[in-house]
């Protein structure tokens, strides 16, 4: 049976052009881009060309890109860089459903005495903008909210958040790791002053990403050094960056992202519609909100996610119980808990995230396999939950 990956929010397969760019760079352009000799200059030119490609994809100036080791590093640079920049601005305002890496960093900072406030979400997964407004103030160092939640796929209102943050003189940072590559994105128009992203979510290599820093904004380096114009020390990962650029070029050369997103959303909607019809008790989280086109976060009755995932693997489907960065334990998703979902229900949630090459036929196969794998379990669960009719009924 052919395997179908339904976990493209965890990572995406590198395109052949990406693999080739990485290999080519490693074998033919391995000089240090900071060296002044000819091979170094060649590496520097390749770095500049890669920066231009990535800038074109992201609608930013090449000089606004600081290449990093990925989104985790970029998020750290954004949050840690905000502290101590301006006297009196020492409070962070973050979304309550940020990526696991940001939530952990926020906890660490709080333990060290930094004031961190979380903007709650509503039951449907949307950010509570009224609560966000109430958290603004002249002491805010940074407002940081995910552009698109990695579990529910729910999109966050960046324009409104930018107005709120800027209204109190604070910069807005957004982690757009799940957004970029799936939906059109232009740094110049998104409202945020800082953006994190990662190449491996858009068919590039792992271990490379970027922090976009709006022109004119001075942002302290997380890693000291002279590279990236003093904004990120460490010899540039040129093979990774060249692979990132190859992924950007491929996206730019393909059909417009808005068109692809609409096609993927139609597949995702068909998947949900058919699962809801076939498997009673299926519930989709965040469905009432604008969402990433490929993401479906759901539960099948009260079947525990662990059981569902094991059964899916038996029929050649791989999926996840939420974020790959926080899975591996049996903890319920902090995203669902923040939405007010009870703990035992949250432990049943499974994320299905379609890939860019998904087709209608593939969705049909997914529904059939899911139906076969889970239908009997759901029927059994329903039977044991409702006691059978009393066969020992006696006439009064």
- Binding part of the chain for ligand PMP, among 108-116, 172-180, 278-286, 364-372 by CB under 6 A, reads 172-180
The single residue among 12, 152, 198, 296 that binds ligand PMP, judged by CB under 6 A, is 198
Per rule CB under 6 A, is residue 333 in the interface with ligand PMP?
A: no
Smallest gap from Cβ 65 to ligand PMP, in A, equals: 15
Cβ closest to ligand PMP, residue 33 vs residue 320? 320
Structure tokens at 186: 């232009």
Q: Tell me the C-alpha to C-alpha distance, in Å, between residue 362 and each of 6, 257, 310.
A: 11, 21, 20
Q: Tell me the C-alpha to C-alpha distance, in Å, between residue 26 and each of 12, 20, 42, 237, 383.
A: 22, 10, 13, 10, 60
Look up tokens 């807005």; give the residue.
Answer: 172
Q: Cβ of 74: how many Cβ atoms within 10 Å? A: 29
Secondary element (H or E) of residue 74: helix 71-82
Per rule CB under 6 A, is residue 248 in the interface with ligand PMP?
A: no
The one catalytic residue in 5, 325, 348, 386 is 325
CA distance 233 to 224: 5
Q: What 3 state SS string does 2-35 have?
A: CCEECECCCCCCCCHHHHHHHHHHHHHCCCCCCC
The single residue among 144, 174, 177, 237 that binds ligand PMP, judged by CB under 6 A, is 177
Percent of the chain as helix, strand, coil, to the nearest 5? 45, 15, 40
Per rule CB under 6 A, is residue 7 in the interface with ligand PMP?
A: no
Query: Among residues 383, 339, 344, which one has the least CA distance to residue 125?
Result: 339
Per rule CB under 6 A, is residue 180 in the interface with ligand PMP?
A: no
- The pattern of x and - marking residues 283 through 312 that bind ligand PMP according to CB under 6 A reads ------------------------------
Per rule CB under 6 A, is residue 353 in the interface with ligand PMP?
A: no
Active site residue 190: no
User: Greatest CA span in the chain, whole angstroms?
Assistant: 101
Which residue's Cβ lies closest to ligand PMP?
70
Smallest gap from Cβ 68 to ligand PMP, in A, equals: 8
- Establish how many alpha carbons lie within 13 A of residue 284's alpha carbon, considering only the half-sphere containing its beta carbon: 22
The single residue among 261, 325, 337, 377 that binds ligand PMP, judged by CB under 6 A, is 325
Q: Residues near 255 by Cβ (< 8 Å), separated by ≥ 6?
A: none
Smallest gap from Cβ 174 to ligand PMP, in A, equals: 10
Per rule CB under 6 A, is residue 324 in the interface with ligand PMP?
A: yes
Secondary element (H or E) of residue 351: strand 349-353
Per rule CB under 6 A, is residue 144 in the interface with ligand PMP?
A: no
Per rule CB under 6 A, is residue 150 in the interface with ligand PMP?
A: yes
Per rule CB under 6 A, is residue 125 in the interface with ligand PMP?
A: no
Smallest gap from Cβ 197 to ligand PMP, in A, equals: 8
The single residue among 12, 58, 70, 321 that binds ligand PMP, judged by CB under 6 A, is 70
Structure tokens at 249: 């070029």
The single residue among 72, 152, 295, 296 that binds ligand PMP, judged by CB under 6 A, is 72
Interaction residues for ligand PMP, span 85-114 (CB under 6 A): 99, 101
- Establish how many alpha carbons lie within 13 A of residue 301's alpha carbon, considering only the half-sphere containing its beta carbon: 20
Structure tokens at 218: 């001075």
Per rule CB under 6 A, is residue 223 in the interface with ligand PMP?
A: no
Smallest gap from Cβ 191 to ligand PMP, in A, equals: 18
Give the binding site for ligand PMP (CB under 6 A): 70-72, 99, 101, 146, 150, 175, 177-178, 198, 209, 324-325
Give catalytic residue positions: 325
């Amino acid at each position: 049976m052919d395997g179908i990956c339904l976990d493209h929010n965890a990572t995406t397969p590198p395109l052949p052009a990406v693999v080739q760019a990485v290999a080519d760079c490693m074998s033919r352009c391995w000089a240090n881009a900071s060296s002044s000799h000819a091979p170094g200059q060649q590496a520097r030119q390749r770095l500049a060309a890669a920066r231009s490609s990535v800038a074109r994809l992201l609608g930013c100036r090449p000089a606004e890109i600081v290449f990093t080791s990925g989104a985790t590093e970029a998020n750290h640079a954004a949050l840690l860089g905000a502290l101590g920049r301006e006297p009196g601005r020492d409070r962070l305002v973050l979304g309550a459903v940020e990526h696991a890496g940001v939530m952990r960093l926020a906890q660490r900072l709080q333990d060290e005495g930094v004031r961190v406030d979380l903007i709650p979400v509503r039951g449907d997964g949307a950010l509570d903008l009224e609560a966000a407004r109430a958290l603004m103030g002249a002491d805010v160092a940074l407002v940081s909210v995910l552009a698109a939640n990695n579990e529910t796929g729910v999109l966050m209102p960046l324009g409104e958040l930018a107005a709120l943050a800027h209204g109190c003189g604070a910069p807005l940072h957004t982690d757009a790791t799940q957004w970029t590559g799936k939906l059109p994105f232009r740094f110049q128009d998104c409202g945020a002053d800082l953006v994190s992203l990662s190449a491996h979510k858009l068919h590039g290599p792992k271990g490379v990403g970027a922090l976009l820093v709006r022109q004119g904004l001075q942002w302290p380096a997380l890693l000291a050094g002279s590279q990236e114009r003093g904004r990120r020390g460490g010899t540039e990962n040129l093979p990774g960056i060249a692979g990132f650029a190859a992924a950007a070029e491929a996206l730019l050369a393909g059909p417009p992202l808005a068109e692809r997103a609409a096609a993927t959303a139609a597949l995702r909607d068909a998947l949900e519609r058919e699962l809801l019809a076939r498997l009673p008790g299926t519930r989709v989280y965040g469905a009432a909100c604008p969402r990433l086109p490929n993401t479906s976060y759901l539960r099948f009755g009260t079947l525990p996610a662990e059981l569902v995932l094991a059964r899916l693997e038996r029929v050649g489907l791989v999926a996840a119980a939420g974020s790959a960065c926080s899975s591996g334990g049996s903890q319920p998703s902090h995203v669902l808990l923040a939405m007010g979902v009870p703990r035992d229900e949250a432990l049943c949630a499974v994320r299905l995230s379609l890939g860019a090459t998904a087709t209608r036929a593939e969705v049909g196969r997914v529904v059939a396999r899911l139906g076969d794998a889970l239908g009997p379990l759901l029927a059994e669960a329903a039977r044991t939950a409702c006691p059978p009719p009393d066969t020992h009924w006696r006439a009064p």
